[in-house]
Structure 1
Amino acid sequence: MTGAALSGLPTSGSAGVPAPVTSLGTHPPGAPANGPGSVAAPRAVLRFAALGDSLTEGIGDPVPGGWRGWAALLAEGLAEPGRVVDFRNLAVAGALSKDVHERQAAAAAAFRPDLASVVVGVNDTLRHSFDIRRLAGRLEEVCALLSGGGAVLLTACLPDPGTALGLPGPLRRPLARRQRAVNAVVHDLSTRYDLVHLHASDRAWTEDRSLWSADRLHPAERGHRKLAAGFHLLLTERGLARGNPPGREPLRPPPGRAAAALWLATRGTGWLARRSTDLLPGLLGLAAAEIGHQALGTSARLDARAERALCEALDAMTRTPRPCGSVPRVRTEG
């Protein structure tokens, strides 16, 4: 494993390809620094693997040489006198639950982490092939693999991308319905595997523009810091974090209107073009269905259909089927 300065942590090249490990730690008070003739005091090592997509890769929180992000910030806060953190960021922009299941999970298991974060699913909701049952099965197998290896798992429920982007109702509601189903699966897994679960899907996240980068899809530095601080607090409550929590205030100014316009004129157009061949045709069909059901006053049927699919997905993850009435509702608003 090679060392890398945290502030210059490079991004991964493809899904499941390990990024260099960052070793973080401090000397016990009064201990001599490493050098000729000195003997380093033994230090415990905490291995932390981060799995997921662009959110965990750190997009929206740029540093010289690449991205940093909430997971790297959290790793800083886990280091303490007498303990070193070996941090490996396996997350890759654009990753789906399939990528985490088929590539990243195996790489993480080989790393034998003490702590692992699994935050994925938003990209799945943006695909025409979205299937909540397949996603649930993949996430359950990842959780079983890593927790079975002794890792404490971190996860989070997230806002839906339609709300974050401010899309009109007929386009927003299908994405909201899908993301709520993903969040329900994550909540269920969190309970059954005793995961460290962060709630990051409420309106406080989508309405606070200072938390978001120019693309409105990824957190800005302030948002990444809020995620890192939230996870650190949860770990502290479990007695698993004793280092200083990550600072909540950004060290760089938030993106302004000029930055947003530049992103839309450059990278934003490319993002839309790539999604046009997959997301947009399917999303337009979903929007047409929303409009049709709304005109007929039968929108509840779409909510019921999503709830049945979620119920089946959750039942498929356990040998003891539960009544559909016990499944978290995925009804959309507005």
Structure 2
Amino acid sequence: MEMNAPYTSFVAVGDSFTEGMSDLLPDGSYRGWADLLAARLAAREPGFRYANLAVRGKLIGQIAEEQAPAAAAMGADVVTLVGGLNDALRPKVDMGRVRGHLEAAVELLAPSCGRLVLMRSPGRHGPVMERFRPRMEELFGILEELSARHGALLVDLYGAPALGDPRLWDADRLHLTAEGHRRVAEAVWQALGLPAEEDWTRSLPAAPAPGWAVRRTEDLRFARRHLLPWIGRRLTGRSSGDGRPPKRPELLPYATPPLL
């Protein structure tokens, strides 16, 4: 792809990763990599338009049925689709159904936009990651097939060891920090053929590992504040995104907020 290619519109589709959790702003809203990318694209193109249809907790079936048709109708220059990980992290999952929903979404989106971007999501280093690694890698294999078949870009965040560093993940161990989101925005920016501003794959400086007591305290806090509520939602069939609308449901001109 040409460097300095003009991108005049961008639609983001997905779940909490694309909504921007846990890149928290002072007003209590979330920013995230998609907003950061939109701000950078808007700085290059007067009249740039942006929509973000992502909603936390959504499964790939919901993304394919609710978000993909709306995104396809917008005819944007760039569409990003990130989904399926919420399915893979559930106690039981039919990966065949995940594949079917991903195929349907990609087949709808690829011909409707100038450039479709898929991602191999990052994974935090730790025991939870190891438990779900086979499912994640099966999901990523599906995405590789679909990107090759439909000419989509595939951004490999999973293949960057630096993004697995726990220091780039929030206390819930599911969502990236502001620095993590900033690196993802840079990764997508470069994948779109735009001039690199930094090496988003670089490792953080070495730091002493926390002691046993600190780790146990953090584990207990994580279990109480994040893990148990997450398990409770899975057992009751609820989602953190139930009833929540997208933060930018329409493809409208995007003025860079001062905080960006």
TM-score, structure 2 normalization: 0.73
| Shift in Å, 1:111 | 2.1
Q: Per the alignment, in what secondary structure is the counterpart of residue 192 of structure 2?
A: helix
Amino acid paired to 1:104 = Q
Q: Per the alignment, in what secondary structure is the counterpart of residue 154 of structure 1?
A: strand
**What is the identity percentage for the equivalent residue pairs of Structure 1 and Structure 2?**
32
Structure with the larger RCO, 1 or 2 (CA within 8 Å, 6+ apart): 2
Higher deviation after alignment, 269-278 or 50-59: 269-278
| Shift in Å, 1:80 | 3.6
Q: Contact 1:155–1:195 (CA<8 Å) still a contact in 2?
A: yes
Q: Contact 1:165–1:216 (CA<8 Å) still a contact in 2?
A: no
Amino acid paired to 2:9 = R
Give the corresponding residue for 1:147.
110
Q: Per the alignment, in what secondary structure is the counterpart of residue 100 of structure 2?
A: helix
For the residues of structure 2 that align with 1:265 and 1:49, how far apart are their CA atoms? Answer: 36
Per-residue CA deviations over 1:189-247 (Å, capped at 9, x if unaligned) read 111112121111136146412211111111111111111101111112xxxx46x8599
For the residues of structure 1 that align with 2:30 and 2:116, how far apart are their CA atoms? Answer: 23
Per-residue CA deviations over 1:260-317 (Å, capped at 9, x if unaligned) read 8665433443123223457xxxxxxxxxxxxxxxxxxxxxxxxxxxxxxxxxxxxxxx
For the residues of structure 2 that align with 1:102 and 1:268, how far apart are their CA atoms? Answer: 28
Give the corresponding residue for 2:49.
86
Per-residue CA deviations over 1:168-207 (Å, capped at 9, x if unaligned) read xxx944x211111100000111111121211111361464
Q: How many equivalent pairs are there?
A: 218
Give the corresponding residue for 1:166.
127
Note closer, same or farther for the CA distance 1:205–1:122 as it changes in structure 2 (3 Å cut): farther
Query: Paired residue for 1:275, among 213, 230, 234?
Result: 234
TM-score, structure 1 normalization: 0.58
| Shift in Å, 1:142 | 1.3
**Is 1:180 paired with 2:137?**
yes
Note closer, same or farther for the CA distance 1:260–1:224 as it changes in structure 2 (3 Å cut): farther
For the residues of structure 2 that align with 1:83 and 1:112, how far apart are their CA atoms? Answer: 18
Higher deviation after alignment, 118-127 or 265-274: 265-274
In structure 1, the gaps of 5 or more residues are 1-43, 250-255, 279-334
For the residues of structure 2 that align with 1:140 and 1:204, how far apart are their CA atoms? Answer: 28
For the residues of structure 2 that align with 1:71 and 1:159, how far apart are their CA atoms? Answer: 15
Aligned 1:29-108 pairs, distance under 5 A: 46-63=8-25, 64-108=27-71
Give the corresponding residue for 2:173.
216
In structure 2, the gaps of 5 or more residues are 1-5, 203-209, 238-260
Q: Contact 2:11–2:76 (CA<8 Å) still a contact in 1?
A: yes
Q: Contact 2:8–2:45 (CA<8 Å) still a contact in 1?
A: no
Q: Contact 1:164–1:216 (CA<8 Å) still a contact in 2?
A: no
Query: Paired residue for 1:192, among 149, 152, 161?
Result: 149
Larger Rg: 1
For the residues of structure 1 that align with 2:166 and 2:80, how far apart are their CA atoms? Answer: 25
Q: Contact 1:214–1:260 (CA<8 Å) still a contact in 2?
A: no
Q: Contact 2:157–2:163 (CA<8 Å) still a contact in 1?
A: no
Q: Contact 1:74–1:229 (CA<8 Å) still a contact in 2?
A: yes
Q: Per the alignment, in what secondary structure is the counterpart of residue 48 of structure 2?
A: strand
Q: Per the alignment, in what secondary structure is the counterpart of residue 230 of structure 2?
A: helix
